Amino acid sequence: MRLYRLGESRQRREILAKLGVDKGGVAIMAEKMETLWILIRDLRTPGANILKQDALSIGADLAVPSGVITCETERVDALLIATRAQLRRLIRKASAQPFGLKKLAKALRGFLREEQGPARIMGVLNANDDSFYAGSRFLGDEAMNRIDAMIKEGAAIIDIGAVSSRPGAAEVSVREELRRIRPLCEEIGKRRLFERALFSIDSYTPEVVDYALRSGFGLINDITGASDERLIDLAVEHDADYCIMHMQGTPQTMQRAPRYEDVTAEVDAFFDERIARCEARGLPREKILLDVGIGFGKSLEHNLTLLRNHRTFLRHGCELLIGASRKSMIDRIIPTPTEERLPGTLAIHLKAVENGATVVRCHDVAEHRQALAVWEAMADVSSDKA
C-alpha cells in the first residue's frame, strides 16, 4: 500500500477521472476539494447567529467574536469557512433569512465563480522619456522594433502609453500626448500589427483614447478607473475592452501617505461602483478588466494584502490584470535597483496568476512567457509525471 498527498485541484480532477469516476461524480467531488475562507464585515449580529447555525448544520463553520450569542454589539465581523459545495447550500439557506442575509447570499454567489483560463502577457511600451523604467522607453523605429519583438516573444497584448504615471510625474498637455502617440498609431496600422496582437492605449485623455481606438486599438487601460464617463462611452462606441484600475489620489499625490481602513474591502467596493457605472452606460461586464493598482496610492503592506486577497476580485466576473513589473515594492522588500527587479517581478506576477490574474502587464515578455509556461506545467502536472 502506498499513499501520498495530492496538490493542485486540477491534479485531483485528473485522479478522479483515472479512478473511473463518471463526469457527474467528478463535478460533484470537485466542489468539495477547495475550502474557501471569506471574511464578512459588518454583519448584523442576529444574522451572524443564524448564519453560524446554518453553517454548522451543513458541515461548514462561521468564526465569530465572543458575545455574539447575546447580541452584545449591533454588528460584527465574521470568517466563513466552507467548501464550494457547502457554500452553495449555505447560499440557499441564507436567501430565505432576514437580517441582511438575503443580500449576503447574493454577494456570496460571486465567490463561486471560477478562474478564466490561462494568463495572457501584456507587453509595455512607453512613448516618453520619463517613465520610471528606462528599458520601457522607445521612440520612432526603435518603438516599432520593440513592438515586433514583444509579439514574437509571446505578448498577446501591447500596452502603449505616452505619459508617465510614476509617482510625482509631470502633467502633459493633450496636444503633446497626441503628438507622441500619432506616429505610432499610424505605423502600427501600416504594418498591419493589429492582426497580430490586441493593442491597448494607456491613457485617460478622451481625445487620445478616441484617436487610438479609431486607429485600431481594442483596449482602454484607464488608471483613473472610469472616473471620466466619456471614456466608457468611447469603449461602447468602438466595442473596446476597458480596464478599470484603482488608484488613491493622482499620480502627483498618490504616494503621500496612502491610508485605508481595509484596503481589500475598499478596492472591492470601488470595483462594484465602477462596474455598475460602466454597465449603466452600456458596457457589458464581459468587456471589463480589473486592476488593483499595485503601487498606485498604496504602501508596501497595502500591495501585499491585495496580492494575498486577489481571488476576492474574481467574484465580479471580470478578468483580473496584474501590473507590478519592476515596481518599488520590490525595493522595499529587498533593496534592489529598478534594472535588477526582474526576479521579484516574476515572483509577484506568478503569485497573482495563482490567485486569479489572467492578464500580466510586464516589461520583460520572453522571461514572463517562460516563467508562466513552467508554472502552468506544474499546475497541470498529473500523478504519472510527478
- Domains of the chain, by residue range, sit at 34-112, 120-379
Say if residue 216's pLDDT is above 50.
Answer: yes
Interval 21-71: pLDDT, tens = 888 888 788 788 889 999 999 999 999 999 999 999 999 999 999 989 998
CA distances (Å), origin 273, targets 240, 276, 313: 20, 5, 13
How far apart CA 275 and CA 305 sit, in angstroms, is: 22
CATH of domain 120-379: 3.20.20.20
How far apart CA 60 and CA 53 sit, in angstroms, is: 10
| Residue range 278-306: mean pLDDT, rounded | 97
Percent of the chain exceeding pLDDT 70 equals 95
Task: Record the cell numbers describing residue 309, joined without a space.
Answer: 486577497
pLDDT band at 121 (very low <50, low <70, confident <90, very high): very high
pLDDT band at 204 (very low <50, low <70, confident <90, very high): very high
Element (H, E) at 187: helix 174-190
Catalytic machinery residues:
327, 361
| Residue range 116-128: mean pLDDT, rounded | 90
How many C-beta atoms lie closer than 10 Å to residue 340's C-beta?
11
Four-CA torsion 257, 260, 161, 137, nearest 10 degrees: 50
Say if residue 137's pLDDT is above 90.
Answer: no
Report the CATH fold assignment for 34-112. Answer: Alpha-Beta Plaits (3.30.70)
